[in-house]
Amino acid sequence: MGYAPGGSGGGEAVETALIAVDWGTSNFRAYDVDATGAIRDRRAAPQGILQVPDGAFADAFADLVGDWLEAAPDAPVVMSGMIGSRSGWSEAAYAACPADAAALAQSLHPVPFGARTLSIVPGLSTVGPSGVHDVIRGEETQIFGALGDTAGRTAVCLPGTHAKWADVADGRVTGFRTAMTGEVFAVMAEHSILGRTMAGPEAPADAAAFARGLARADEAGGLLHHAFGVRAEALFDALKPAAARSYLSGLLIGHELGGMADILAAVPEVTVIGADALSALYVEALAGRGVATRRVAGDTAVVDGLVRVARLARLLKDAP
Amino acid sequence: MGYAPGGSGGGEAVETALIAVDWGTSNFRAYDVDATGAIRDRRAAPQGILQVPDGAFADAFADLVGDWLEAAPDAPVVMSGMIGSRSGWSEAAYAACPADAAALAQSLHPVPFGARTLSIVPGLSTVGPSGVHDVIRGEETQIFGALGDTAGRTAVCLPGTHAKWADVADGRVTGFRTAMTGEVFAVMAEHSILGRTMAGPEAPADAAAFARGLARADEAGGLLHHAFGVRAEALFDALKPAAARSYLSGLLIGHELGGMADILAAVPEVTVIGADALSALYVEALAGRGVATRRVAGDTAVVDGLVRVARLARLLKDAP
């Protein structure tokens, strides 16, 4: 955001200038934004694209923010996230890397909605050095929101079910990698033998066990071997069920970072975007490798990214 | 085995001298062995320890090989596998590494059974350089069966749900590592997003896709990133559902071998013990790293191992 709206009362700055929407797999989040990029109002619902029946996205959208749309009939609507996937409202083709925020603005995907045309921000695709593809949908908006016009080379990490690591040069995403860290944690905890000696998600985080897992990830043997240690240590009572979740989390995040060693060696700092608790674990793990970090909250990054793309697309005036 | 029994008809060599039992999690396998170590008869049933209700192992054993026991009332019975675990008939404490076949023979765990005393071969435990435990139960018998008295340093690989890698010096297991390769494959295929673009287990093996997965495992990014490639490549139609299983298998086996790089660099050869199809994949993967291999069938290794331990325990006379 440029800055918070000054004072209260009338004036253009406090009217709705953009309806910014982050519509993901599990959640819907909308922001009523003024011309300065400040949030006037926000709304969230557990109405991710998987929860919308029979592709009735237009109905769901009207239910969720119909009053906003009516109150600001001329405000543009820009959306990012899985809403633009094959399983979403309308498929927005991926923009290919390298790509900057202007490239997204030029590739907005139009969706007719009554008298309006809504815009979906495309995801990004990349092809690694050996020809393997990777994709992002939603995080690209957060990356451009969090980075602004940062010059030079930097990296962005978005932890989660499918963690994303973007390599950025002069405001342009040159490539990225997805790591299935969160999903592997979940399937191993729920469906593998490791779950038998592991307390449930209600167990409090154990900082010492997390640090042990991180350290273990740097030793010989590889992830497939280290993971079995969760079981073997439990057999010898060397890892308590309440500590096992944090240990496995440390193991996986440690291996994720190990896989990004080439990126980490090339950048002065990593911007970590996400929720507090998970971001804190990544900041700790990166600090252990001597990597400087900067944190940006996930919703701040989304709104700033949508505002930035909307400005570049001339849907929203430049900040006053 | 020393050698096959000579000729047909009478003589001590063709009488039952040992009942050798491999009783695992999912399967029961028994071998009627003569004094030379040759198999006279064999029997298998899907009666692993998880299939025996209410700990009724004595009843199950009598049902499965009662006629053999009656026909050879003096023959010793030696068993290996999960039957000696906490969930089995009677818990046999792990023998600590370094350990040789004689150490197992000295630590046989007695189980009363009518007028007999059965013997369970203990598993092995090890503690890695950083203090992390690991355990084996069943594979130790195969290792000693397959190696015999091999001098010098060598390694043994037993692929499977929990693959085992043993480091061996002059017939003594100095340490080992378990890799959850088979189990991670199963939970990822069944419970993660990767399964959505993957054909079922009935899909024929795809050698080219397996080789692609192996090669990918050696690139930057790490396993957690490489695994997501199964999904991303499918989105771009660069990996067909029928090929995805072999690709994931190559990825995982490649990463497993990457984790064993220090062991592989230290030995002239790896003995691969197991079933044909899976062993062949490991032999191919190891050849790709320039590692010489020797293959031993799983049942041959079990019987030879049980015979060897029985001889060292003086339950069976030395080979004539």
Is residue A8 over pLDDT 80? Answer: no
- Please, are residues B307 and B20 in contact by the beta-carbon 8 Å criterion? yes
**Partners of residue A28 on adjacent β-strands:** A23, A45
What's the pLDDT at A80?
A: 98
Residue B70 lies in a domain: yes
Q: What is the pLDDT of residues A210-237, one digit of tens each?
A: 999 999 999 999 999 999 999 999 999 9
Q: In this prediction, what percent of chain B has a pLDDT beyond 70?
A: 96
Residue B214 lies in a domain: no
Q: What is the pLDDT of residues B163-199, one digit of tens each?
A: 999 999 999 999 999 999 999 999 999 999 999 999 9
What's the pLDDT at B14?
A: 78
Per-position DSSP letters for A82-103, written without gaps between them: GGGSTTSSSPPPPEESSEEHHH
Lookup: tokens for B188:
């990822």
Query: CA-to-CA distance for A194 and A73, rounded, in angstroms?
Result: 54
- Please, are residues A174 and A98 in contact by the beta-carbon 8 Å criterion? yes
Q: What is the pLDDT of residues A33-77, one digit of tens each?
A: 999 999 999 999 999 999 999 999 999 999 999 999 999 999 999
At B292, phi and psi to the nearest 5? Answer: -75, 145
Residues of A with CB below 8 A from B252's CB?
224
Distance of CA A50 to the CA centre of its chain: 18
Restricting to A residues 177-196, those with a Cβ less than 8 Å away from any Cβ of B are: 177-181, 183-184, 187-188, 190-193
Lookup: tokens for B290:
């320039």
| CATH (domain of A95) | 3.30.420.300
Report residue A89's pLDDT band, with 50, 70 and 90 as the boundaries.
Answer: very high
From the list B183, B190, B223, the residue facing A193 with the nearest CB is B183
Residue A17 lies in a domain: yes
Give the count of domains, chain B. Answer: 1
Instruction: Specify the pTM.
Output: 0.93
Residue B217 lies in a domain: no
A51 Cα to chain B: minimum distance (Å): 17
Closest C-alpha among A24, A44, A279 to residue A138: A24
Q: What is the pLDDT of residues B192-251, one digit of tens each?
A: 999 999 999 999 999 999 999 999 999 999 999 999 999 999 999 999 999 999 999 999
Is residue B142 over pLDDT 70? Answer: yes
- Amino acid (one-letter) located at A183: E
Is residue A105 over pLDDT 50? Answer: yes
**Partners of residue B294 on adjacent β-strands:** B271
Residues of B with CB below 8 A from A181's CB?
224
Query: CA-to-CA distance for B241 and B196, rounded, in angstroms?
Result: 9
Residue A45 lies in a domain: yes
Lookup: tokens for A247:
């240990």
Report residue A129's pLDDT band, with 50, 70 and 90 as the boundaries.
Answer: confident
Q: Does B279 touch chain A (CB under 8 A)?
A: no
**Partners of residue B118 on adjacent β-strands:** B111
Find the domain containing B98 and state its range. Answer: 12-148+302-312
**Contact call for A184 and B188, based on CB within 8 A:** yes
Residue B252 lies in a domain: no
A133 Cα to chain B: minimum distance (Å): 6
Residue A51 lies in a domain: yes
Instruction: Determine if the peptide bond prior to A98 is cis (ω within 30°).
Output: yes
**Contact call for B221 and A177, based on CB within 8 A:** yes
**DSSP SS3 for A289:** coil
- Amino acid (one-letter) located at A287: A
Restricting to A residues 96-155, those with a Cβ less than 8 Å away from any Cβ of B are: 125, 128-130, 132-135
How high does pLDDT run on average in chain A? 94
Residues of A with CB below 8 A from B220's CB?
259, 261-262
Task: Give the strand pairing for A99-100 and A153-158.
Answer: unpaired
- Please, are residues B180 and A227 in contact by the beta-carbon 8 Å criterion? yes
**Contact call for A261 and B220, based on CB within 8 A:** yes
Residue B266 lies in a domain: no
What's the pLDDT at A317?
A: 83
Q: What is the pLDDT of residues B40-62, one digit of tens each?
A: 999 999 999 999 999 999 999 99
Probe site for chain A from B158, B180, B188 (most A CB atoms < 10 A): B180
B181 Cα to chain A: minimum distance (Å): 6
Distance of CA B137 to the CA centre of its chain: 9
Report residue A320's pLDDT band, with 50, 70 and 90 as the boundaries.
Answer: low
Report residue B9's pLDDT band, with 50, 70 and 90 as the boundaries.
Answer: very low
Report residue A149's pLDDT band, with 50, 70 and 90 as the boundaries.
Answer: confident
Q: What is the pLDDT of residues B260-289, one digit of tens each?
A: 999 999 999 999 999 999 999 999 999 999
Work out the average pLDDT over A85-112: 97
Lookup: tokens for B193:
């997003």
**Contact call for A232 and B190, based on CB within 8 A:** no
Q: What is the pLDDT of residues B71-113, one digit of tens each?
A: 999 999 999 999 999 999 999 999 999 999 999 999 999 999 9
